Amino acid sequence: MSNEIIEGILEGLRLIFTFDSEVWGVIEVSFRVSLTSTFLAALVALPIGSFIGLRTFKGKKEVTNLINTFMGFPPVVMGLVVYLLLSRTGPFGALGLLYSTSAMIIAQFLLAVPIIMGTAKAAIESVDPILKETVLSLGANERQLWWELIKHSKKSIIAGFLVAFGQAISEVGAVMIVGGNIRWETRTFTTSIVLQTRMGEFGMAIALGVILITIAFIVNYGLTRLQTRVD
Amino acid sequence: MGSLDYKQGLIKMKLLEVRNLSKVFYKRDKSETEVLSNVNFLVEQGECFVIIGPNGSGKTTLLRIIGLLEAPTLGQIFYNKKDLIKISRKQKVEFRRKFSFVRQKPVVRNTTVFNNIAYGPKVRGLKYDEYQERVNEIIDFIGLKGMEKKNARSLSGGEMQRVAIAMNFVVNPEIYLLDEVSANLDSMNIKLLDDFIMKIKQDKDKTIIMSTHDPLEAIKYADRIAVLKNGQITQVGTPSEIFSSPKDEFTAMFVGYENILHGIAEIDKNTGLNQIRINDIIITASSQLEGKVKVCIRPESIGIVKEPPKNTSYRNTFKGHIENIHDLGNICHLIVRCGSEKFLVTITELSKHNLNLKIGSEVFINFKATDVKIL
């Protein structure tokens, strides 16, 4: 067994440094899907989340509870939901999106939206209320106040993006269900690792694992840098 | 023209009216704290209206409500007869732009001094060319020239407060709301703040509503004073009214009694002392101010004798007669008229008895030049 591990590691390193086309194909799919889903989620969730944080309204508590619940939504269940929606007999079956990267983007998008929304809302709410009042009393309208608060809490907001991206790229359940793990098409780091491990192809699994951990490290490094940076 | 007439007391323009204002804060455990309770007052255009009260009396909340930064629980605020509580979010922005709000602890945006001061003009839609000259002028005025590009958050507390005041001054508001702005400032910054307030006061169209817990500051700036105690206004009046006849014990205790006179000061070249002409009397003081001033003398600093004092070190002696006597237990208040002016004098019941003082008695009052505060 220990022999297998050493062999696997060596094989993994060989695959990385020889730029194995399948490994790089998997990387390409993973990044394309996760970056797109995070970007689209940010586009939708940042305005909505920050707006919820800005205003006080009736039912805000309930909305907050809902967002928080969805922030911890089990990815595999999200996979199931998106599968049911996109399957041939489902309401969006006619679009023929199942087992495509689009389906994976949709699933990851739905997982990322509450994360970015929740962090943006919390970031806006945590701005010193005196700063809010100062900006208002200087004559800012709501849009100007909103922009000021976004600028002020950009660190936390970017941290939210990074968390959402990190979660998207390391997620396995949802992309497996809706993407189908099709070689060269919808196979990602995670689904590939699952498959190769099952097949005993540890070299490929380890190579991908190393890259995934490296990405996780870079994301975390970025997060820490953000949180400790002094302006 | 109208404002000039107003200053002469002919026309009074009601600018802001606070009516039946109450504010209740609800805590998590459903307990209530009534911070303001049925507050009513009028502010006229061009006046400096000072709200004086101890910490926790509700001054800041009151100013925040007037500045449309917080909604009252009950009551109305009228600005030129328009009810500001009922207006839309968009209209509130419009009205906030007529106000400015400087608070005790300044907060500046995380950007340069210039950008902080330019923020008000910018959100009002002005272009860089339209505001940069005025912004630089004000930076010069607050003594921060050369620091335009410095991050405002890296400044000292006093400098930050100056930036905060400049941020509000640059937009030329109708009403200045100043919330204990002089607290925590050193003497140099107080001087600068004073220049600012005096500059605003010179502009007869501008109205100031300020809060303070410092009676001398209130006397110095106020055209009228409102005393706030536990969220209730206990008295509104001119400084002389408040400090010579406080309505209740709290006001008397908190603001203290003070003789407040208005005069013109000049420096006597021979003695180097201040001579303040107040109608037909001249008071000598040790300050170095000139021009229009307010003169304050505490009633307990004034001595009273029946014969003209000889060889006294007291620089101020005036002949007068007792107009009125208020007995307050073992002390009493005498109202002594000397020429055009009335003085409130505090003495013990025993002294009154020994000197055989009665209404109409002819007396001499005297006080030291160093006991005269010039504001």
Q: A151: distance to nearest CA of chain B, Å?
A: 9
For residue A177, how far is the Cα from the chain centroid? 17
- Identify all chain A residues contacting B100, using CB atoms and an 8 Å cutoff: 137-138
CA–CA gap between residue B263 and residue B133 (Å, rounded) = 38
Contact B232, B37 (CB under 8 A): yes
CA–CA gap between residue B151 and residue B128 (Å, rounded) = 19
* Amino acid symbol at A136: L
CA–CA gap between residue B107 and residue B206 (Å, rounded) = 24
CA–CA gap between residue B337 and residue B326 (Å, rounded) = 15
Nearest CA among A170, A138, A82, A43 for reference residue B123 = A138
Nearest CA in chain B to A128: B107
Residues ≥6 apart with Cβ < 8 Å to A86? A92, A93, A95, A97, A98, A103, A106, A178
Domain B261-374 matching CATH 2.40.50.100: the answer reads yes
For tokens 């005993």, the residue is A200
Q: Which structure tokens are listed for B347?
A: 């003495």
Residue-wise DSSP of A31-72: HHHHHHHHHHHHHHHHHHHHHHHH---TTHHHHHHHHHHHHT
Global confidence as pTM: 0.80
- Contact yes or no for B69 and A133 at CB 8 A: yes
- Contact yes or no for A139 and B105 at CB 8 A: no
Contact B12, B223 (CB under 8 A): no
Provide the 8-state DSSP code for B27: P
* Average pLDDT of adjacent 10-residue blocks, chain A of 231 residues: 77 84 89 95 96 92 94 94 93 91 96 96 93 92 94 91 92 92 90 91 86 86 77 48
Fold that domain B13-256 belongs to in CATH: Rossmann fold (3.40.50)
* pLDDT given for residue B16 in this prediction: 93
* pLDDT given for residue A206 in this prediction: 86
Which of A134, A142, A154 best tests the B interface by mutation, with the highest count of B CBs <10 A?
A134
Task: Name the class of domain A28-188.
Answer: mainly alpha
- Global ipTM: 0.78
* pLDDT given for residue A143 in this prediction: 93
* pLDDT given for residue A63 in this prediction: 95
Query: What burial class does residue B350 get, using C-beta atoms within 10 Å of its C-beta: 0-12 exposed, 13-18 middle, 19+ buried?
Result: exposed
Q: A55: distance to nearest CA of chain B, Å?
A: 11
Q: Where are the domains of chain B?
A: 13-256, 261-374
* pLDDT given for residue B51 in this prediction: 96
* pLDDT given for residue B374 in this prediction: 87
CA–CA gap between residue B255 and residue B50 (Å, rounded) = 13
Residue/partner pairs of B165-168 with CB below 8 Å, 24 or more apart: B165/B102, B165/B193, B165/B196, B166/B117, B166/B138, B166/B139, B166/B141, B166/B142, B167/A138, B167/B108, B167/B116, B167/B117, B167/B119, B167/B120, B168/A137, B168/A138, B168/B100, B168/B101, B168/B102, B168/B120
* pLDDT given for residue A1 in this prediction: 58
Which of B69, B111, B165 best tests the A interface by mutation, with the highest count of A CBs <10 A?
B69
Please state the length of chain A: 231
Sign of CA dihedral B171, B172, B178, B184: positive
Q: Work out whether strand B331-338 and strand B274-278 pair parallel, antiparallel, or are unpaired.
A: unpaired
**Regions in chain B scoring below 70 on pLDDT:** 1-12
- Contact yes or no for B120 and A139 at CB 8 A: yes
Contact B365, B336 (CB under 8 A): yes
Q: Which structure tokens are listed for A24?
A: 């790089």
- Identify all chain A residues contacting B107, using CB atoms and an 8 Å cutoff: 128, 130-131, 134
- Identify all chain A residues contacting B101, using CB atoms and an 8 Å cutoff: 133-134, 137
Query: What burial class does residue A176 get, using C-beta atoms within 10 Å of its C-beta: 0-12 exposed, 13-18 middle, 19+ buried?
Result: buried
Contact B295, B260 (CB under 8 A): yes
Q: A192: distance to nearest CA of chain B, Å?
A: 46
- Contact yes or no for A138 and B168 at CB 8 A: yes
- Contact yes or no for B171 and A135 at CB 8 A: no
Q: Does B28 touch chain A (CB under 8 A)?
A: no
- Quick: pLDDT tens for A10-68: 888 888 888 888 888 898 999 999 999 999 999 999 999 999 999 989 999 999 999 99
Q: Who among A134, A144, A231 is closest to B107 (CB)? A: A134
Q: Where are the domains of chain A?
A: 28-188
CA angle at B157 for the pair A141 and B51, rounded to the nearest 5°: 65
Q: A57: distance to nearest CA of chain B, Å?
A: 13
CA angle at B45 for the pair B49 and B35, rounded to the nearest 5°: 40
- Identify all chain A residues contacting B108, using CB atoms and an 8 Å cutoff: 134
Nearest CA in chain B to A145: B123
Q: Who among A133, A142, A231 is closest to B110 (CB)? A: A231
CA–CA gap between residue A65 and residue B371 (Å, rounded) = 65
Beta strands across the sheet bearing B14-26: B32-44, B14-26, B74-79, B82-83
Q: Which structure tokens are listed for B248?
A: 């209740």
- Contact yes or no for B96 and A152 at CB 8 A: no
- Contact yes or no for A139 and B171 at CB 8 A: yes
Three-state secondary-structure class, residue A194: helix
